[in-house]
Structure 1
Amino acid sequence: MNDLVNELQLKIQRLENELNFKNGLISILSHDSKELFGNFLWLIKSLEQQTISEADFFKLLPQIKNDTQKNLQTIQDSTTWLKTQYGDFKINPVKIAVTDLYHYLEEKYAARLKEKKISFHFKGDHNAFITSDVLLLKYVLDKIFNNAVKYSLPEQDIYLQASTEDDQLLLSVTDFGTGMNEKYLSAIYTYDNPIFLGTAGEKGVGLSLKIVKNFISLLQGNIKIISAENKGTTVTLFFVNL
């Protein structure tokens, strides 16, 4: 009887988490889209009605561009998540070399790493493999690494490390950037956490880490974040080592 009650409680909790996630996703999409198009419409009307000059119009365009890029990222993240919600979606586990994941990040972020003069290194077992879903795992690492680059200062280092602990494979991304106060860590996956600007003024979309946690759950893994203000952040992913 107790086992049945515990199972029902877990199912209820899972459903509540999914509902909160979907409601939060809808809230972010509606708020950000409304704000972007509202600002864009105001800008066009102001130019048409000549309440702002052409010079001021062009001065505001970079901000509109940044907001558009942020909204596009939100839509792309949402689309990736929606793919996992279709009835025919199934986790497709394949054997992946961890060094291939390192080179994937190194290549994708080459321009931003060069722009900030950040050095990216691999540490740990160069022969490590992980059996996981490529789409979900790359999304997770992409978002974690994106934050590491965003909050790193120029000429700092970022590490991807692979290690084993008992029957688990651990993947860690470590940066030595701005970090965050411990009081914010507990709220990092909620929808009321503050948005921090990157060291080059990059703005977060407030959604990626929430989807990351959702995907980690689908991959039957765990995530742990250790961060200290002005010292940096380490995000560690734990997977059963098959």
Structure 2
Amino acid sequence: MDDLIKELKIKIEKLENEIYFKNGLISILSHDSKELFGNFLWLVESLEQKIVSEQDFYKLLPQVKSDARKNLQTVQDSTAWLKTQYGNFKIKPEKILVTDLFHHLEEQYAAKLREKSIKFYFKGDHNSFIISDRLLLEYILDKIFNNALKYSSTGQDIYLRQVSEGDQTKLSVVDSGIGINEKYLATIYSYDNPIFQGTAGEKGAGLSLKIVKNFIFLLQGNIDIQSSENKGTTVSLFLPNFIA
């Protein structure tokens, strides 16, 4: 009986988390889309009615572009999550060389790494591999690395660190950027957490880590975030070397 109650509690908690996540996702999509299109409509109408000059109109376009890029990222993140919720989505385990994941990030972010003069290094066994779903794992690492890059200043190095621990692999993205204040760490996966700009003014909707946590659950793994303000952040993934 106790085991049954425990199992039911786990299922209820899982459903509550899913409802919370979906409601938050809908809220973000609704708010951000309304704000973007509202601002753009106001800008165009103001130009038509000559409330703003053409010169001022063009000055405001970079802000509109920045907001549009943020909203596009939100839509892309939401689409990635939706693909795991509907249809016949199934985890597809395959043998993945960890250095392949490193090179994927290195190539994906080559331009941004150059812009900030940031070096990206691999620490670990170059022959190590993990059995996991490549699509989900690359998405997870992409979002974590993007945050590390966003909150790092010029010349601050970033590492992908691999450690084998029994029947699991620990992958960590380590940066020495601006870090996270301790009071925000406890609510980092909630929708109440404030959204911070990157060191070069980069914007986000604060959605990526919430989807990352959801995907980690699908991979039967865990995530841990250690951070100190102005000292950097280490995001560690604990992934089984098999998926049941």
- Normalised-by-shorter TM-score class: over 0.9
Superposed, 1:44-193 pairs within 5 Å as: 44-193=44-193
Residue of structure 2 equivalent to 1:238: 238
Q: TM-score, normalized by length of structure 1?
A: 0.99
Mapped to 1, the partners of 2:241 and 2:104 lie a distance apart of 21
- TM superposition score normalised by structure 2: 0.98
3-state secondary structure, aligned to 1:189: coil
Deviation at 1:241, TM superposition (A): 2.7
Gaps of 5+ in 2: none
3-state SS of the aligned residue for 2:31? helix
State the 1:204 CA deviation: 1.7
Matched residues in 1 for 2:127 and 2:183: separation?
37
> CA offsets per residue over residues 46-90 of structure 1, 9 Å max, x none?
000000111110010000000000000000000000000014110
Q: CA RMSD in A?
A: 0.7
Within 5 Å, give how 1:181-220 maps onto structure 2: 181-220=181-220
Distance 1:142 1:58 in 2: 33
Alpha-carbon distance in structure 2 between the residues aligned to 1:196 and 1:92: 35
Query: Residues of 2 paired with 1:174 and 1:15: CA distance?
Result: 32
Letter in 1 for 2:70: K
Structure 1 CA distance for aligned equivalents of residues 5 and 17 of structure 2? 18
Task: Give the fraction of aligned pairs with identical amino acids, expressed as a percent.
Answer: 72
**Count of residues paired in the alignment:** 242
- Distance in 2 (CA, whole Å) between partners of 1:26 and 1:173 is 29
1:13 is aligned to: 13
**Contact 2:132/2:241, CA 8 A, preserved across alignment:** no
Farther off after superposition, 94-103 or 165-174: 165-174
Gaps of 5+ in 1: none
